[in-house]
Amino acid sequence: MRSHSLAQTQPNAYLPHEAEVVKFVQESKTIYTLYLRFTDPLVHANYMYDPGQFNMLYLHGVGEVPISIVSDPEHEDLLIHTINRVGRVTRGLAAVSEGQRLGVRGPYGRGWPLREAEGQDVVIVSGGLGCAPVVSVINYMIRRRERFGRFTIVQKVKHVDEFIWPERYERWQQVPDTTVLVAATQGAENWRWQVSPRIKVMEEVKVHTERTIAMICGPEGFMASAAEHLIGQGVPAASIYMSTERNMQCAVGHCGHCQFGPTFICKEGPVYAYPRIKPLLNIRGF
Partner 1 sequence: MERFLPTAQFQRLINLLRRDGYDCVGPRVRDGAIVYGPLERVEELPVGWHDEQRPGHYRLARGSGRRFFDWANGPEALKPLTFASREVLWTVVRDGQGSLRFCEEVPEVRPTAVIGVRACDIAAMHLQDQHFGYREYQDPYYNRRRRALFLVAVDCARPASTCFCHSTGDGPAAHAGFDIALTELDDGFIARARSERGRDLLAELPTTEVTPDHHAAAGAQHDAAVAAQTRRLAGRNLKASLFAHLDHPEWDAVAGRCLSCGNCTAVCPTCFCHSVGDTTELDGRRSTHHRQWDSCFSAGHSYMHSFVVRDQTVLRYRQWLTHKLGTWHDQYGRSGCVGCGRCLTWCPVGIDMVETANRICGGDGDAQP
Per-residue x/- mask for partner 1, residues 28 to 47, rule CB under 8 A?
A: -----------x--------
Element spanning 222, H or E: helix 220-232
Choosing from 5, 6, 16, 92, the residue that interacts with partner 1 (CB under 8 A) is: 16
Choosing from 17, 37, 81, 156, the residue that interacts with partner 1 (CB under 8 A) is: 17
Contact 215, 127 (CB under 8 A): no
68 residue type, one letter:
S
Contact 156, 201 (CB under 8 A): yes
The neighbour count for residue 17, using CB atoms within 10 Å, is 20
Choosing from 78, 94, 195, 255, the residue that interacts with partner 1 (CB under 8 A) is: 255
Cβ 211 to partner 1 shortest distance, Å:
30
Identify any residues that bridge with 272 across adjacent strands, giving them in sequence order.
242
Which of 15/45 has CB closer to partner 1?
15
Cβ 8 to partner 1 shortest distance, Å:
8
158 touches partner 1 (CB under 8 A): no
256 touches partner 1 (CB under 8 A): yes
284: phi then psi, degrees, rounded to nearest 5:
-60, 135
196 touches partner 1 (CB under 8 A): no
Angle 63-82-89 from CA coordinates, rounded to 5°: 20
Choosing from 267, 273, 278, 282, the residue that interacts with partner 1 (CB under 8 A) is: 267
Cβ 61 to partner 1 shortest distance, Å:
4
95 touches partner 1 (CB under 8 A): no
236 touches partner 1 (CB under 8 A): no
Which of 20/76 has CB closer to partner 1?
20
Cβ 56 to partner 1 shortest distance, Å:
10
Stretch that binds partner 1, among 46-54, 60-68, 152-160, 195-203 (CB under 8 A): 60-68
Which of 108/151 has CB closer to partner 1?
108
Specify the 3-state DSSP secondary structure of 115: helix
The neighbour count for residue 250, using CB atoms within 10 Å, is 18
247 touches partner 1 (CB under 8 A): yes
The neighbour count for residue 62, using CB atoms within 10 Å, is 13
Tell me how far apart the alpha carbons of residues 220 and 229 are, in angstroms, rounded to a whole number. 14
263 touches partner 1 (CB under 8 A): yes
Tell me how far apart the alpha carbons of residues 73 and 139 are, in angstroms, rounded to a whole number. 11
Choosing from 2, 23, 60, 147, the residue that interacts with partner 1 (CB under 8 A) is: 60
Contacts by residues 72-77 (CB-CB < 8 Å, ≥ 24 positions apart): 72/136, 72/139, 72/140, 72/143, 73/1, 73/48, 73/49, 74/1, 75/143, 77/37
Residues with Cβ within 8 Å of 92's Cβ and at least 6 positions away in sequence, in order, are 59, 62
90 touches partner 1 (CB under 8 A): yes
Number of residues that bind partner 1 (CB under 8 A): 46
Q: In the complex, which residues of this chain contact partner 1 (CB under 8 A)? A: 11-18, 39, 58, 60-64, 84, 86-87, 90, 99-103, 245-247, 249-250, 252-257, 259, 261-264, 267, 279, 283-286
